Structure 1
């Protein structure tokens, strides 16, 4: 992808949340938006909901507190998403996650988010070429989670985040530089199962809550004179799972999501103290409670499993028309085989046909093993 700096500078300013149109519409925004992109195909196919879904290796992103409930002792997952593929051909999102259970009630995990913004053709205001640069962003995450009761668990994730949008370029007298920041997530999960051993029927309901990306502000260079809020967000979720015979299972999930950054109100909101800006985001909208509720996005999805081998999924994600108006349907499928391997796909159908997210697809490959299975791999017949 070759992008002139004139276009890139607009993207950069938009990332910093200073575009006047945003102030007019009062749409909360922040840099590091790649941290809010659903990385895996399973949750993406269910409307990008996953806080209270059944656990898998990608719980590291959605709700790390779910990890101790995984049925496998070890799991690893890799996801790939071509980004804005209707517009460009070299932007993509990658996510790699691995967890290890420590006994029956705790787990540790590592995960990496990587977002390739593509190659930028940097030019100044009069069109002089300043060179090419591969714009990229990265987050490395370490997680620990533990059951605090039979049905309740919590998780903690620490993150190192790097955003290298234009290297060390000097544009219009502004010395840009890579931005780096530390952040963390805290999560909670409650799950209750009711099972009939005679019939194989099972009913499970779950609740989840995640406060993500709570950390310092970010700055893209001394010349910008502004530290910007990163995309701290709060997700609340609920899930319901039912099977009547142990072979046909239905999962229903719903998430509510709010970006915890100040609502643009015509003032220099980035100058607010960190905690005041983050937690004050629940009460800073000029039109009060009504506008605060408009800033809450809803995701909902359904999943059908046959014999824990084949899955079909669908979902919907909606935002208020005054707060981004990002609305789309999702669909996907998955296959689980040899009780170890999984392949999942997801596809996005925007309500607006002009949406740059049209035709977004994701693929995820996963592996899960138990301790005994690991030993079997190395066993040889003598």
Structure 2
């Protein structure tokens, strides 16, 4: 049986094919790493998306645990939550969307617990038989439920951990589908965060550094249990430097570098005279994909096509700048860069935000490097509800106040 979308079927097929793909001969110009549930690596909130998906070291908010659970010990409110929504691939279809709901609550003097739900709706698929007659329909979807805890270990350093359940149902049950089934997995995140205020010359700064390893979990099985797919385990390392210009103005520069910690596709320069090459490449690539979780993480640092240069090409760069006026109005700009050899996703992002008392709103617009890019005209909107500022309602040290002099 075959199936297709009436409109915009290509994205669904790509998401279906990526985790189910078997070994293949890579091209000389493109060595894209495919994993199950790639949506887990994209910023679901408007603030992070506006900063080029940077966020491992930015000031913590209700979405902090997505980037780095180690930031949770530094939250500035007793409670906060944030819903986010993004229409997805509007250049191609009109029924896909990404939704995200996250929040936290302060626990004790130095900790906070967070929970979130990410829901990716891939729209409707119309099934057709070989005679192109209607044969039912299906709505593929993916979601992830996460619980996180972060704890300060000192005035400037904190760590955190997340536990996540991931469900991916992008195939469904249809005649001729064989043993196709939804996939599910459990994963964990580990994070560390360092934040320190400093006076340099006449300027007041906050220097922050973050490190997180996310989506460490068992492989996803969609069809063949002997060929499961890796989750997008990712290493994220970054920094954020905030400069308080005066009592009304401050600016933050954020920079992240990320790398997938899963095996790279195996590649050999094609040789038309070597008839056994394709079989050999497929065998070696299959062996890579059948590695365990831990061995896959460690091998990901030295298995890229092209050696060390290839490893550098697998690093994605995220940078952004955030400006706040009186902690009420924000303007953001960012850039996401992926090497042309490993996917070529590149886009500029712009965002605005406003915070009024307990309520805030952020919006982001993505401008890709090519109008043919399906991410063109992508928007993302987040709302924020911050309840009980700690400096007023939750005395951490018995005398009021919290760590840090720079407001968030």
Shift of 1:50: 0.6
Structure-1 residue corresponding to 2:251:
250
**2:376 counterpart of 1:358:** yes
1:160-199 matches, cutoff 5 A: 160-171=165-176, 174-194=178-198
Q: Secondary structure of the residue that 1:68 maps to in structure 2?
A: helix
Q: Unaligned 5+ residue runs, structure 2?
A: 267-280, 395-408
Structure-1 residue corresponding to 2:89:
84
Shift of 1:279: 2.0
Structure-2 residue corresponding to 1:110:
115
CA distance 1:232–1:11, change in 2 (3 Å):
closer
CA distance in 2, matches of 1:69, 1:136: 34
Equivalent in 211, 214, 220 of residue 212 of structure 1 = 214
Cα-to-partner distance string for 1:284-331 (whole Å, 9 max, x where unaligned): 113211100100010000001000010000011111111111111000
Contact preservation (8 Å) 1:124, 1:171: no
Equivalent in 263, 273, 294 of residue 313 of structure 2 = 294
Structure-2 residue corresponding to 1:322:
341
Q: Secondary structure of the residue that 1:292 maps to in structure 2?
A: helix
Equivalent in 144, 148, 163 of residue 158 of structure 1 = 163
TM-score w.r.t. the length of structure 1 is 0.91
1:1-382 matches, cutoff 5 A: 2=6, 9=13, 11-18=15-22, 20=24, 25-124=30-129, 127-171=132-176, 174-194=178-198, 202-222=204-224, 225-265=226-266, 266=281, 267-268=285-286, 269-338=288-357, 340-370=358-388
CA distance in 2, matches of 1:297, 1:371: 35
Contact preservation (8 Å) 1:5, 1:122: no
CA distance 1:9–1:130, change in 2 (3 Å):
farther
Shift of 1:352: 1.4
Contact preservation (8 Å) 1:334, 1:343: yes
CA distance in 2, matches of 1:33, 1:6: 16
Contact preservation (8 Å) 1:315, 1:329: yes
CA distance in 1, matches of 2:223, 2:327: 51
CA distance in 1, matches of 2:13, 2:136: 15
CA distance in 2, matches of 1:253, 1:8: 33
Cα-to-partner distance string for 1:192-238 (whole Å, 9 max, x where unaligned): 11269xx9x6310110011000000110135x642111100000010
CA distance 1:38–1:9, change in 2 (3 Å):
closer
Q: Secondary structure of the residue that 1:365 maps to in structure 2?
A: strand
Contact preservation (8 Å) 1:13, 1:19: no
Q: Which moved more, 1:89-98 or 1:11-20?
A: 11-20
Contact preservation (8 Å) 2:76, 2:389: no
Q: Unaligned 5+ residue runs, structure 1?
A: 376-382
CA distance 1:20–1:248, change in 2 (3 Å):
same
Shift of 1:85: 0.8
Contact preservation (8 Å) 1:4, 1:121: no
CA distance in 2, matches of 1:299, 1:285: 21
Q: Secondary structure of the residue that 1:76 maps to in structure 2?
A: strand
CA distance 1:125–1:207, change in 2 (3 Å):
farther
